[in-house]
Chain A
Amino acid sequence: MSCPFAERVDWQRLGEESAAAEAFRDELRPHLRVCGSCRDRAVLADASMFFAAMPAVEVSASERSEMQQRIAGARRLLAGAPPAPLRRRLVPRLSAGRVAAVLVPALALAGLWGGSLVREPEDPSSRPALVEETATASALHASHLAQHLEGMPLVDRSEDDAPEIVYQVEGATFDLVLLVHAGLDLGGP
């Protein structure tokens, strides 16, 4: 069945080389993507119109995420930093006393909420093993953690697999990453 649009078009204009012919092609192009009969007419008038209906290239979410990660890795290399995740590069240095002050209420929260609030960085060889989950501190109150976190600069917030907030704890002598489960809502916006 012929398209009504086809009857109104002067197909010969496709063969012309002029600004008006270019504008005509621009106008025609979207229609040719959806109308086979007009496409046949167009190709008859100008064989190069054969390519007017090319498929759109699809990019999946996983391809995009993979590219974002690769680019982030390249960006870190350019900056001269080791290709490690952001939160591991921002690991603060803590004094033993400060660690205890933070860990005890944090572990208490772990007990209260039944989740892991404090975890070691992924590479344990980089500093002494610090953290071990324990239920003994579970009697301590959540507000202790809030007090200790108050004033600490927040360095990162992850929304990936497990939502976490990373706080920077100042004045330390060994590496620690303090990951607080974002579900605790310690006052986020």
Chain B
Amino acid sequence: MSPLPRLAYSRTLHREQIGQLDDRELLLRLQDSDEVALDELVRRKMAPLVQVAYRILGDREEARDVVQIAFVRIWEHRRRYHPRYSANTWIYRIATNLAIDHLRSRRSRERVAEPLRLHLERRQDASGSRALSELGEREVAGIFDQLAAGLTERQRAIFVMRELEGMSSAEVAEIVGCRESTVRNHLFNARRVLRVALRERYPEYAPAGHETTEAVP
């Protein structure tokens, strides 16, 4: 019996090799149009990106759509990535900008229905109050989505990345494309808006404590 031929290429082995690369190396492999590298990138980054997009948009389906577009855009623009930049920053910048744009366009569509939405929300608020300790994390997420409607798109994205995802101010500044001091300003304003909104709409969860009274201008 003649010897069996060796495989010229094994996709399994290729997947294993790609799986061992760090994010920066993975983006460099994308520049060679390596489809396995793109699959690996989706495997690693889909969940964290969907989480950020969901917190910016407040809608799971929209968040998934935005992340999908972000991956396609990453593929389209793969040759623009330079290894001196952080891979995470480059990826998050694409996804976050898409989420902000999406939120902006959705808000402009919704503006027409605003009075009715507020009326319905007020009715809901009056009927559903509970103690803070009884609140589930999902309910907290729901309240955030309601109150964050008072933030600008950029304030919301910065609050999400800095306060909820725990990114540093420097990282957020690089993702959003502004200075760290601007990030801090947006963050302080976002906190102020949320504090006031929480006290107004959910006073049972935000009792007057050590904070000084403040109002949103």
Residues of chain A touching chain B, judged by Cβ–Cβ distance below 8 Å, are 11-12, 15, 17, 22, 25-26, 29-30, 36, 40, 43-48, 50-59, 63-64, 67-68, 70-72, 74-75, 78, 141-143, 146-147, 149-151, 153-159, 165, 185-189
Contacts and interface: CB of A to CB of B under 8 A. Distances in A.
A158 B64 contact: no
B120 interface: no
Interface stretch (B18-26, B35-43, B103-111): B35-43
Contact of A68 (B6, B7, B39): B39
B68 interface: yes
B42 A51 contact: no
8 contacts: A43-B206, A47-B195, A48-B191, A57-B50, A72-B39, A159-B11, A189-B7, A189-B13
B4 A40 contact: no
Interface stretch (B85-93, B121-129, B131-139): B131-139
By secondary structure, the B interface counts as helix
Given A47-B195, A146-B4, A58 B38 contact: no
Interface residues of B, number: 62
Interface in B175-209: 184, 188, 190-192, 194-195, 198-199, 205-207, 209
Contacts of B71: 67, 71
Interface string B44-59: 0011001100110000
A179 B1 CA distance: 22
Nearest to B76: A78
Contacts of B211: 15, 45-47
B139 to A, nearest CB: 10
B132 A40 contact: yes
Contact of A150 (B5, B55, B75): B5
Contacts of B64: 63, 67
Q: Which 6 A-B pairs have the closest CB atoms?
A: A44-B209, A55-B137, A47-B206, A150-B5, A57-B51, A187-B4
Contact of A153 (B8, B42, B209): B8
A12 B210 contact: yes
A159 B12 contact: yes
A17 to B, nearest CB: 6
Contacts of B47: 57-59, 64
Given A17-B184, A45-B209, A67-B68, 14 more contacts: A12-B210, A15-B212, A43-B206, A46-B211, A48-B163, A48-B194, A55-B137, A68-B39, A71-B68, A143-B1, A143-B2, A185-B4, A186-B7, A187-B3
B118 interface: no
A43 B198 CA distance: 11
B42 A68 contact: yes
Given A45-B209, A50-B205, A154 B133 contact: no
Nearest to B180: A19
A58 B4 CA distance: 45
Given A72-B35, A147-B2, A51 B164 contact: yes
Nearest to A60: B47
B75 A71 contact: yes
Given A78-B72, A159-B12, A186 B4 contact: yes
B166 interface: yes
Nearest to B60: A57
A29 B166 CA distance: 8
A159 B10 CA distance: 10
A47 B195 CA distance: 5
B169 interface: yes
